Amino acid sequence: MKKALAALTVAFSACLASGVSAQSLTVGFSQIGSESGWRAAETTVTKQEAEKRGIDLKFADAQQKQENQIKAIRGFIAQGVDAILVAPVVATGWDAVLKEAKEEEIPVILLDRQIESPEDLYLTAVTSDQVHEGKVAGEWLVKEIGDKDCKVVELQGTTGSSPAINRKKGFEEGIASNAKITIARSQTGDFTRTKGKEVMESFIKAEGGGKDICAVYAHNDDMAVGAIQAIKEAGLKPGTDIKIVSIDAVPDIFKAMADGEANATVELTPNMAGPAFDVLDAYLKDKKQPPKWIQTESKLFTAADDPMKVYEAKKGLGY
């Protein structure tokens, strides 16, 4: 903390001399990569939010590799940034590098995914309630299916990531009230369209050409869009023969809904950085510890919600 305040004092007097805003901070951002439309939007919005606040954002794309994130964080520490944002690709393996940031009194804020490290190693985490997201998806399917048997195939997110762990848990809770809904196959599609399509093709092959599959639950819309392509290539109708429920609410899933090829999605805001920068600003001013979790909203959208209108509204937002 002393370091951050010292840096601020130096910055303040330097800025006074140069007439630049005294508020300008330098923040490092270790982003996972660009695996999905939602991730691309989060990157765009984070840069916009930094720009709005006159924050000098140092951006590092890890291409899905934790070792690249750790390297980037060490680089930010060496540069003496005022704070670090991290979207942690997986939930474990962060203690050592976060201890190094703590030793340098550089606050770290987690974006969109949680980690299993001790809470004192980060200032706060800005994320959705991923268990709730999965539960909302499961409860939607229970309502949609009624009293029929329903074999579900699940496309999981990145193995070991908090959304993959939590969205699986939540969906299982959501369908628990109806024993006729069962998860027959579950495999990671790594949050990407390509892998989502590949894994869905293998599910279709393994399940009698797909006619026995009642629904796909995908941990994100990108994998759902990949699955939709695989279902169509197998000669089946996504959205009717096989129900499609997923999470993120990216524009393309609304396009699929409007075409009758997808059924439901749970919205995840790409703006985790706005709340993060606001908390950081307050913390650097009054040194008061913020809550360890800042929860973002999760809203269910279905084909009843004018999908083309939502598509038009979302498509320009950096996805």
Rule CB under 6 A: is residue 193 a binding residue for ligand GZL?
Answer: no
Within 146-184, residue ranges assigned H as helices are: 162-175
Residue of the chain from 82, 139, 154, 248 that contacts ligand GZL (CB under 6 A) = 248
Q: Check: CB of residue 87 under 8 Å from CB of residue 59.
A: no
Rule CB under 6 A: is residue 35 a binding residue for ligand GZL?
Answer: yes
For β-strands 150-156 and 124-128, DSSP reports them as unpaired
Rule CB under 6 A: is residue 189 a binding residue for ligand GZL?
Answer: no
Total binding residues for ligand GZL by CB under 6 A?
Answer: 14
Q: Check: CB of residue 166 under 8 Å from CB of residue 128.
A: no
Tokens of 263: 């059924």
Q: How far is the CB of 167 from ligand GZL (least distance, A)?
A: 8
Rule CB under 6 A: is residue 140 a binding residue for ligand GZL?
Answer: no
Residue of the chain from 31, 36, 156, 188 that contacts ligand GZL (CB under 6 A) = 36
Helix (H) / strand (E) element for 186: namely strand 181-188
Angstrom distance (rounded) from CA 52 to CA 60:
20
Q: How far is the CB of 261 from ligand GZL (least distance, A)?
A: 19
The binding track of 58-97 with respect to ligand GZL, each residue x by CB under 6 A or -, is ----------------------------------------
Strand ranges inside the chain, DSSP E? 26-31, 56-61, 83-86, 108-111, 124-128, 150-156, 181-188, 215-218, 243-248, 264-267, 293-296, 300-302
Rule CB under 6 A: is residue 268 a binding residue for ligand GZL?
Answer: yes
- Which residues lie near ligand GZL (CB under 6 A)? 35-36, 38-39, 112-113, 128, 163, 191, 220, 222, 247-248, 268
